[in-house]
């Protein structure tokens, strides 16, 4: 998959020009090019009073965020947390985990002054993780979407310090392109099932199935289905 199909937004917010403000980019968590096949699957957010002075109008801010990713080429990564000091007694914690492969985070909204005061994640299927107080004057929509061709959020990046979350951005890819490429092995087997006579003859012998795992048995049977049912299943997987 070519990197030109990936789009990164800026980090929206106020970035302090000091060594105290730390930068993070979860794209760098993944070895080699495994980042091409990852997507955001879980978000956890801390919201409450900060321990540092702030010019925001809101009494509470986004103190921290934790991201967890799903990789299709290796085991899942460990959750990554970026937060300020969690000492106040009014902290609220909210999270959203996507367990369906067909759902994904597609939109991100922020309200930000010197700290981020509001975050809202929206998934393709309409699930919402919303934390903080919305302010139309400071709202930023971080999404590259339309109804017919949504994008999924792969990774997050931004800045934080001991006070809380300063800035946040996201890396996107077109959802249909992502699911097409990550299911390329199925499509390759389908091609062999239709046009490779030796491959077809090999799997005509039912004894060949005996040593396969349940997953592989299902996969082989899938690629030998007639065009209409195969197409319906692939459409369900991608959409």
pLDDT bucket at 223, cuts 50 / 70 / 90: confident
- Whether the pLDDT of residue 73 is over 60: the answer is no
User: pTM of the predicted model, to two decimals?
Assistant: 0.75
Mean pLDDT of the chain: 84
Pair of tokens at residue 25: 């980019």
Least confident range from 25-34, 113-122, 160-169, 184-193: namely: 184-193
Q: Provide the pLDDT for residue 220.
A: 83
- What are the angstrom distances between the C-alpha of 52 and each of 59, 167, 222? 12, 16, 58
Walk me through the domains of the chain, giving residue ranges and CATH numbers: 3-174 (2.100.10.30), 183-238 (no CATH)
Contact predicate 153/106, CB 8 Å: yes
Which pLDDT belongs to residue 123?
A: 93
Estimate to the nearest angstrom the gap between the alpha carbon of 40 and the chain centroid: 2
């Amino acid at each position: 998959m070519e990197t030109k199909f990936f789009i990164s937004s800026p980090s929206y917010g106020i970035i302090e020009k000091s060594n105290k403000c730390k930068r993070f980019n979860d794209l760098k968590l993944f070895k080699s090019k495994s980042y091409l096949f990852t997507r955001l699957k879980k978000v956890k957010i801390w919201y409450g009073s900060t321990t540092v002075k702030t010019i925001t109008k809101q009494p509470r801010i986004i103190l921290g965020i934790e991201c967890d990713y799903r990789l299709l080429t290796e085991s899942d990564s460990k959750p990554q947390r970026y937060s300020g000091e969690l000492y106040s007694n009014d902290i609220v914690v909210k999270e959203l985990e996507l367990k369906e492969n067909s759902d994904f985070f597609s939109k991100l909204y922020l309200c930000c002054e010197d700290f981020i005061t509001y975050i809202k994640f929206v998934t393709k299927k309409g699930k919402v993780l919303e934390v903080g107080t919305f302010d139309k004057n400071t709202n930023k929509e971080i999404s590259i979407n339309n109804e017919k061709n949504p994008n999924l959020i792969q990774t997050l990046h931004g800045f934080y310090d001991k006070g809380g979350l300063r800035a946040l951005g996201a890396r996107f890819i077109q959802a249909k392109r992502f699911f097409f490429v990550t299911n390329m092995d199925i499509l390759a087997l389908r091609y062999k099932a239709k046009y490779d006579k030796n491959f077809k003859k090999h799997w005509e012998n039912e004894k060949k199935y005996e040593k396969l795992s349940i997953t592989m048995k299902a996969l082989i049977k899938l690629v030998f289905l007639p065009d209409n049912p195969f197409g319906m299943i692939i459409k369900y997987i991608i959409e």
